[in-house]
Amino acid sequence: MQSFGTLPDGREARLYTLRQPSGFTAEITDFGGSIVRLLVPDRTGRLADVALGFDSLAPYVKDSPFFGALIGRVGNRIAGGQFTLEGKTYPLATTNAPGGIPCHLHGGEIGFDKILWSAEPATRDGQPALRLRYTSPDGEEGYPGTLSIEVTYSLTADQGLRIDYTATTDRATPVNLSNHCYFNLAGAGHGDVLGHEVTLRARRYTPVNPGLIPTGELAPVAGTPFDFTAPHTIGARIGQSHEQLRFGGGYDHNWVLDSTDGSLALAAIVREPASGRVLEVLTTEPGVQFYTGNFLAGKIPGKSGAVYPYRSGFCLETQHFPDSVNQPNFPSTILRPGQTYRSTTVYRFSAR
């Protein structure tokens, strides 16, 4: 544990290191619960940091496009910045406007990515872990109910970073927690990710309108640039003239995972051919947002002076579907008193 900087209100943020003898390492700050570094070996054993981010606290406070952050109370977009629950309409801040259409994104103006979490080093299954806690008060960012959240990051014996989420509430409220890590398996700052090979265990996705809000359809990926049921590079079809790619500026969509029983199941495999690094994503969630860094523009200086250009990182945000709170045909995101929200995601690395 070490100091990571001081917030404008004088509170100190800290950086925690989880490390294995192989060198596999995760560095996480209690500000936003953000993954700052992920050191992963390639096929020769050479370590590289595969997570985009910053060397110090200040850019996470001011300029971060959610690099490595915990996302909530509700991740992804809510149409029009409002929802109705138990007969009452709750207005939310509109913090995003794709296609000029305002929506609520990633929890609002001060989402969980901008919170200083309570942190405690721990262990899980004999591996190093970090336990984070936060209590979101009733009415924060417009959401009803006091929500008590615990997130545990832990390393796994098979070179994975596991994230376990739990939450309870005293009033019915929507909850959809995720992590927004940007990956580049060649190493953060080492070019674009268009040559990464992606497989998604998903035969359907949720098409969106020009505001990137799902239409409600669960559409088959077959015959479209969204079919990653077999490996394709990110760049192979991203430039095709397809309405959905135009709306997202590339891939920025939710895939409906084939696994439907809530068990921890393989959702995605990504391979970077030059280094041989492989990322497998396992999750209990029904969906994953695959985002290809379409809004990175090479204007934000990252770690070690690197500048992250257009499409220099990708995200696989495990989640319930966007705008679920307004779409009754989607799996529900409503948590009620007496229930416990539980979700697990594992980012597992190897090389070949």
The pLDDT of residue 20 is above 90:
yes
CATH number where 95 lies: 2.70.98.10
Predicted pLDDT at 58: 96
The pLDDT of residue 305 is above 90:
no
For the ranges 72-81, 149-158, 246-255, 293-302, the lowest mean pLDDT is seen at 293-302
Average pLDDT value for the chain: 97
Overall number of domains in the chain: 1
Q: For residue 322, what pLDDT band results from cuts at 50, 70 and 90?
A: very high
Predicted pLDDT at 300: 81
Q: Give the sign of the dihedral formed by CA 253, CA 199, CA 177, CA 64.
A: negative
Please identify which of the residues 197, 272, 285, 317 carries the catalytic annotation: 317
Please identify which of the residues 27, 106, 141, 180 carries the catalytic annotation: 180
Note if 140 is an active site residue.
Answer: no
Q: For residue 107, what pLDDT band results from cuts at 50, 70 and 90?
A: very high
The pLDDT of residue 63 is above 90:
no
Q: For residue 138, what pLDDT band results from cuts at 50, 70 and 90?
A: very high
Note if 27 is an active site residue.
Answer: no
Range of 99's domain? 2-351
